[in-house]
């Protein structure tokens, strides 16, 4: 028998919560806490539910745990801390980005719209389609993880420019990065965010990383193997500034 949607959501939440608790606590304490919580959840599953349902729920919890774990990876936290330390000892300028909540709301609504068919099938399809519902559940967990990453980037992203190093630093809870402008391949200004290119549902296998926070003009920075999309307040100034550095670097290497 296939578990009901509320039960699936509950154990997916447990999987995510275990990862978050392990991330927030000190490393050794976090690891021990994760093990204790995981054993507790598994014990409850196999005591309360039939074996087949328990196995399915365990799979959903494990996938949620693994997906969120990739977002809260220790190496990403280490990278973020290293960049923060670099900012402390460096001269930098903050690149302002105005956060418009309607921007993330559109991403969420588009996700719900695209996933609506799968959600309806999961809710109302008969149990004879248990295997298909199982696969759809995995897909929806992956989509949920992508939206968690997108929301985290939206609310926590801060942009910094280091003029002496000529380097762009992006601090975010999930995707903290640094980009020497010398590595840039193309700079392009777009009139507004193109959701078909930057929405998490359409960038699963692409190299586009969305740091946009509003519907204003977008600055696309193309680096080797990756495209970065940002929405600085003074896009003309920063676009021209980065373009000057890019052209100067191109002339020096030619």
Q: Do 67 and 85 belong together in one domain? A: no
Tell me the mean pLDDT in the region 34-55: 91
pLDDT tens per residue, range 74-98 = 788 889 999 999 999 999 999 999 9
Task: Encode burial over 102-140: b for 16+ CB neighbours within 10 A, e otherwise.
Answer: ebbeebeebbeeebeebeeebeeeeeeeeeebbebbeeb
In terms of DSSP bridges, do strands 226-230 and 177-180 run parallel, antiparallel, or are they unpaired? unpaired
Q: Are residues 19 and 136 in the same domain?
A: no
Domain C-terminal end among 28, 45, 72: 72
pLDDT recorded at residue 254:
55
Average pLDDT, the chain: 88
**Where residue 157 falls among pLDDT bands split at 50, 70, 90?**
very high
Give the domain range for residue 114: 78-254
> 110-156, pLDDT tens digit by residue?
999 989 999 898 888 888 888 898 899 999 999 999 899 999 999 99
To which H or E segment does residue 190 belong?
strand 186-190
Which residues have CB under 8 Å from 154's CB, separation 6+? 99, 103, 104, 107, 213
- Whether residue 102 sits in one domain with residue 188: yes
**Residue 205: its pLDDT value, please?**
62
Examine the domain organization and report whether 188 and 142 are in the same domain.
Answer: yes
pLDDT of residue 28: 85
Tell me: pLDDT of 224 over 90: no
**Residue 66 shares a structural domain with residue 109:** no
pLDDT above 80: residue 66: yes
- The total of structural domains in the chain comes to 2
Q: Verify that 67 and 135 share a domain, yes or no.
A: no
Residue 72 has pLDDT above 90, yes or no: no
């Amino acid at each position: 028998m296939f578990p009901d949607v509320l039960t699936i959501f509950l154990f997916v939440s447990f999987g995510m919560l275990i990862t978050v608790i392990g991330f927030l606590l000190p490393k050794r304490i976090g690891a021990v806490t994760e093990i204790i919580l995981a054993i507790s959840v598994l014990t409850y599953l196999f005591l309360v539910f039939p074996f087949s349902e328990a196995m399915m729920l365990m799979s959903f919890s494990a996938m949620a745990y693994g997906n969120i774990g990739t977002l809260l990876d220790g190496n990403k936290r280490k990278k973020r801390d290293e960049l923060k330390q670099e900012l402390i000892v460096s001269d930098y300028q903050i690149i302002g980005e105005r956060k418009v909540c309607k921007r993330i709301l559109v991403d969420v609504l588009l996700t719900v719209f695209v996933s609506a068919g799968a959600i309806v099938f999961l809710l109302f399809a008969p149990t004879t389609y248990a295997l298909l519902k199982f696969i759809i559940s995995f897909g929806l967990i992956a989509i949920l993880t992508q939206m968690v990453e997108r929301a985290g980037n939206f609310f926590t992203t801060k942009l910094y420019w280091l003029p002496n190093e000529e380097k762009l630093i992006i601090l975010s809870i999930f995707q903290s990065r640094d980009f020497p402008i010398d590595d840039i391949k193309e700079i392009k200004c777009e009139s507004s965010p193109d959701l078909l290119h930057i929405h998490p549902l359409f960038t699963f296998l692409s190299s586009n990383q969305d740091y946009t926070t509003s519907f204003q003009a977008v600055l696309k920075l193309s680096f080797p193997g990756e495209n970065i999309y940002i929405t600085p307040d003074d896009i003309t100034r920063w676009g021209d500034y980065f373009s000057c550095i890019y052209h100067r670097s191109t002339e020096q290497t030619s």
